[in-house]
Structure 1
Amino acid sequence: MSTPDQEYFLRRIRRALNSKPDFSHHGSPLFAHAPSPEELQILDNHRRRTAADRNALLSQLMEAALPIHLCVIPVPDLIAAATAIATLAEAKKPEWSAVKNIIVWRHPLIDLMELKAPLNRLKIPLHRTEPMDPAADPTQDRIEREHLRSAVTASYIGVTSADLCMADTATLVLRNRPGQPRSVALVPSIHIAVITLDQIISDMKELFALLRWDDRFRSEGLSNYMAFISGPSKTADIEATMVHGAHGPREVYLYVVSGK
């Protein structure tokens, strides 16, 4: 049963989709079984990207980051990244406490930085997220989650990596995995992300082409969530005045390991 208003609404949708009112016509399938020609070209461009292309994307990223208050800092290696993070931690004061605590993801790139040594010299405690034990009983699971929650809320700096970073909008892409909760990027007052130069991609089209068709992502499958982070938290709901940090980190730093 339909009404004239419903028919009018559906006709507008058909016109917008350039679809004939033929119920036997099913159109293209919702989920394609192979990349489109455009996606194939995007994937080929990704594979063929040169060092000069990657540096051009870094420049584009840094330019796009300026107006959104995302601080992008190229560093030659992970040792330089760890030193820079320790220097930043020494200079910054906690927003809600007199005690400095830092929480970091359990992640291969973060582990290789060996951030604990420079922070120990500054007497700043470092906490690591650990994967939850799927076989744990409810009591143990609750204890582990409470421990993680306490460590995150006590930290004024959270350090993560990212899956990718889109240069055109200066947007980090974070997917969840065991030991890599999104709370580390969202709860502390300062979020620090560390990526390598080859993790910078062009735009959203390249992101979804990689997620759908690149073997690295296809083998992993869908994650529970995917976060897009474009600089610090922003809101202007009071007198149209922009405020950073009201609903998340007030500062975001991105260290890009460029290898030079």
Structure 2
Amino acid sequence: MSAPGSAVLEFEDVHLSFGAVKAVNGVGFTVGDDELFAVIGPNGAGKTSIFNVLSGVYRPQQGRVRLHGTSLLGKRPPAIARLGMARTFQNIELFANLTVLDNLMLGRHQHIGYGTFAALAWVGRARNEELRHRRRVEEIVDFLELEQWRKLPVGLLPYGVQKRVELGRALAMEPRLLLLDEPVAGMNLEETEDMARYILDIRDELRIPMIMVEHDMGLVMDIADRVLVVDFGTPVATGTPAEVQRNPDVIRAYLGGAAEAAVEQAAAEQGGAEQGGEASSA
């Protein structure tokens, strides 16, 4: 985990409104080196709006967003990608008729330094650079265990494998920060467990910090280092998974006041039972 002051990303007091609707209302957090940071909240809580601010789709009315000390505000998505931010999407955004290798090669576009005519000639620098990019893509194929599908059109692949290919395309960009938008949405248990393993490998082996938006609370609580909970665009709590699970404001945001009352009642009953046990043993 990173030391204080070594944040990769700074997201400070960000406000984003659409008319009277406050999509992001004073949200702030940092992400450190090698950290897996999760953003959770009920539907409509503002999670996707936060991602859209980070990737340059939305420009907030107030706040600061910095990646390795460089402000992202006012920059368009391609410029932010060149600074080292990559993103996967909840809905798969692949070219179904292209092979796995070709889809991964698309992630190398910002690293290509030759032009159209050099590519057509296919000699010298263009050829050498293309081979270098293909070697990098093959490394990602090995890392994500995609060997058996590498030359198949992605449209023919199982859903879970397509999600893995999209993750691989983001890795092909060589990001300094990776945004994961519901990486296990629609997956079965086995696919979810596989994806969780790859995400942890990205953090531990590739040492790429990540921000993950996800509705699967079991996954988040198992693998995230820290969690931010938002509700109606407003930050509710930030902390370790254990800390946010015990936070009464988080319980209220997810389950409502009745559930919070039930938790408090259960705690009171447990306390009463412990006192009764002490009295009987006295």
TM-score normalised by length of structure 1 = 0.28
Structure number having the greater helix percentage: 2
TM-score normalised by length of structure 2 = 0.26
